[in-house]
Chains A and B, each alone.
Chain A
């Protein structure tokens, strides 16, 4: 068995999600190859070659692959896929955007967001917003899978010495082009990789009040998340949303502040090791999953918490 892992990268750096995906590949067993597709990605390929357990790195360096447009990248992966038993990508927005397109080109079903590997053809994945876990078996010649990164511990970023090979294939469908992007800037750790996450919901009242969470987060070295209610109310940008339709996090400590705990939010954080809920409504569903619950006004509790930690 040989497994192709599609590397996730941005701003000329390899994304940590790649390490979790290599970990999932290692659980399946066999040689692990990593594909780095993009423009000016020599540095990323070098970083990928150092990942522990990677046997080979394929580099497709071409202007057509910049910004990971699926119309161009999917045919590239389709072309490479014939040599592999599995094609894996992290279930990031890029992975979710590209892999189903690859699967359809290969005429196979795709398996989304696996959280466990049972065997080379059998996997577990959550359905119904994480309220059920399905075990699925694939008979596809090439198994095309996205990996929920919080389901697998990252492999070491150093220690490997894979050969780097370049791929000449250039696919430019000419159907789409990149216009621009607006990235949220933050000095805090990335939400999906943070050890501690502090999240705010509708109870924050407005966007300004999120500053209480930012100061608490800075003291804890935490990332700041939000519920959909807080995003829709315009308190914070959408890339901070935790939940079924936002990001999936599983930190050591998740502090939910002013969040009721709707099914859709729980889907994104209920695998956290320790959950703390601060809410003034003691009937809020969040208390049913919280290890430690504090029924209090968040505007008093959060500043006090910040002082004490």
Chain B
């Protein structure tokens, strides 16, 4: 089966972001960017499906700026066969991204689309579910285990009380949770080979996709800072303070 994997370029997860002084957003100038960690897991799962002989071709897709080519090259180095960049200068909302992905799904006709469950910048956790709605496919979100069983996909999902398993008709959409797998590192020879793999660029306009949005960001602020606390010397002092000062026990 053909597998489509969506990847996003985001600020690296170790970076402590700073809000811009004019409250228009967070400062991303000269900040380290990487592939979103959940997307790495999605790529890894697709590659494992190929290694098991289930997947025949892996297409990596990104919707974002020209620089997102770097993240697509990373996906190619990890084992994707080819890549498509839907290039846009704007910061798109999840629905617009889902619409762009829907256009690619229509063109490529994959049996399975794997996405991360959320991007660590917007923290939306929406795109996979929206793509499932637009395509009419079943969705297996927050997946910690994926098994292809004939024409069905068994997905074990992380839910609030534990785990839930659902069976989905293919084609289907899966979004990854952190425990789905441990992503591999790209080796140098594979990084070199990835440079020769095909990377196609399209625009939302060429796909006939509207990027209009019903939500706009008015301002972005730093969260209220917590005032520095005190260090206690002993457990007895800690208990005394919790009882008499904070009055929480």
Contacts and interface: CB of A to CB of B under 8 A. Distances in A.
Contact of B159 (A93, A110, A122, A175): A93
A137 B214 CA distance: 8
Contacts of B177: 238, 245
B contact residues, range: 35 or more
Interface of B: 11, 13-14, 16-17, 19, 26, 93-95, 98, 117-118, 120-134, 136-139, 141-142, 144, 154, 157-169, 172, 177-179, 213-223, 226, 228-232, 234-236, 238-239, 241-242, 246, 248-249
Contacts of A238: 144, 158, 163, 177, 179
A179 B167 contact: yes
Contacts, number: 260
Given A97-B129, A109-B214, A275-B229, A181 B124 contact: no
B98 A104 contact: yes
B160 A305 contact: no
Contacts of A289: 226, 229
Given A132-B26, A290-B229, A109 B129 contact: no
Interface in A76-134: 92-94, 96-105, 107-113, 122, 126-134
8 contacts: A74-B133, A127-B122, A131-B17, A132-B222, A176-B167, A228-B178, A238-B158, A287-B229
A92 B129 CA distance: 15
Given A108-B214, A132-B17, A137-B218, A276 B129 contact: no
A273 interface: yes
Nearest to A174: B169
Interface string A121-158: 01000111111111111111000000000000000000
A103 B130 contact: yes
Given A110-B94, A288-B228, A291-B226, 9 more contacts: A70-B132, A70-B139, A100-B130, A126-B123, A132-B19, A134-B219, A179-B154, A289-B229, A294-B238
Contact of B219 (A94, A135, A176): A135
Contacts of B141: 70, 93, 96-97
A276 B237 CA distance: 12
A32 to B, nearest CB: 22
A184 B219 CA distance: 40
A150 to B, nearest CB: 14
Nearest to B175: A97
A239 B160 contact: yes
Contacts of B238: 276, 292, 294, 305
A264 interface: yes
Contacts of A132: 17, 19, 26, 220-223
B120 A131 contact: no
Contact of B214 (A122, A139, A174, A270): A139
